Structure 1
Amino acid sequence: AARALPSAAASLPDRAASLAAALLLASSLALSPLPSSAADNGATDVSNQKITTGGASTLQSGRTITITRGVNLDRADFGGQKLKGVAFQQSIVRDANFRGADLTSASFFDATIDGSDFEGADMTSVNLEMCQLNRANLRDAVVREAYVGGTTMFTGIKSIEGADFSDTYLRADQKKYLCEHPTAKGTNSVTGMDTRESLMCKN
């Protein structure tokens, strides 16, 4: 699994610098391993800072990716940003703005994303295992082929109107909850898929 550079790391202009940073990461982890989980009193507070190629980067298959493991991103603004493959795992991401963002293959494993706004975001193949989506807004989001575990909690979700859940496997109780949600209606503006059809609701 990819490991995160300290959040204070500067943005790296080229791959050579990225490689140097990755080597620094390996040595720093040997001395001080990252915490296994994110808590309010332990996560690094970088709220409202934009994540591009820096902040916390490493190399994977020859390309730079961004990791934010164990980071406090409460109320951060990622609206419209390209965040493909970014790992927000075990981070605190409450009331953040992801409207219209490209979150393809991003990971929110064990992250706190209560109240975050994903309206119109591309969440294809996103990892939502162990997430709680209380107050989260998935209106018009593309949530195709997403990884949803049995510990993913949709209880209290704000809206799924127009969301496309095609090819996302849901447990029977999760599917029932979403199909009975008052916002389970509408058509996705990008894929043209009906929300209830994508969830395979009975009626």
Structure 2
Amino acid sequence: MLCLSLLSPPALADGSTGTFKLPPIDTSAKNRCSFSSSNIGQANAARDKLYDLRECDMSSQPARGYDLSGVLMEGTNARGADFTEAQFSKGYLHTSDFREATFVNAVVDRASFTGSDLRQAVFRNAVLTGTSFDGANLEGADFSDAYIGDFDQKALCKNPSLKGSNEKTGEDSRFSAGCK
């Protein structure tokens, strides 16, 4: 049993798994590139099928209050999308465009924004627990009144792109994230 655990390390939900492989994109799926909320409610990423929005253009689309738990968004254009009060538990949100997106009052729990563009995004009053922003561009992002755990806040404050002010809210990015 010990040999098995050494050969296959676990895939971690925080995005730190280096060799994570995603299944191929099913481009034939009808209505694949549209936001839809989970029918299970508070499902915590439990869906009846893979929720795959990779390489989709979701720019400026509303997703207010949607349960987007377990969503795969890689190479996705979600610029200006409204995620107010949305839930992103266990979201894989890598190398996507979230510029000017709104995450006000959202629950972004154990999600990974690795390499994504979050310039001018607003996370006001959002819950950001176990969420990774490794290599993300956070210039002008607003984290005012967001709940960020101590460990997550330390990692967030180490991001060199966390600078400037948000054009809509006027909030300083580093100050709003609670960085010293």
* TM-score for the superposition, normalised by structure 1: 0.66
Instruction: Kindly provide the amino acid, as one letter, of the partner of residue 152 in structure 1.
Output: T
Q: List alignment gaps of at least 5 residues for structure 1.
A: 1-38, 61-66
Q: List alignment gaps of at least 5 residues for structure 2.
A: 1-20, 42-46
Identity %: 31
Higher fraction of helix: 1
Which residue in 2 is equivalent to 1:122? Answer: 102
The list of structure 1 runs, each at least 4 consecutive aligned residues, that deviate by more than 6 angstroms after superposition, is none
Instruction: Kindly provide the amino acid, as one letter, of the partner of residue 87 in structure 1.
Output: D
Alignment of 1:16-55 (within 5 A): 40-41=22-23, 46=29, 49-51=32-34
Alignment of 1:39-188 (within 5 A): 40-41=22-23, 46=29, 49-51=32-34, 70-149=50-129, 151-154=130-133, 156-188=134-166
Go from structure 1 to structure 2 and tell me whether the alpha carbon gap of 1:69 and 1:201 turns closer, same or farther (over 3 Å shift): farther
Root-mean-square deviation (CA, aligned residues, Å) is 2.9
* TM-score for the superposition, normalised by structure 2: 0.73
Secondary structure in structure 1 of the residue aligned to 2:128: coil
How many residues are matched? 154
- The structure with the largest alpha-carbon Rg is 1
Go from structure 1 to structure 2 and tell me whether the alpha carbon gap of 1:73 and 1:194 turns closer, same or farther (over 3 Å shift): same
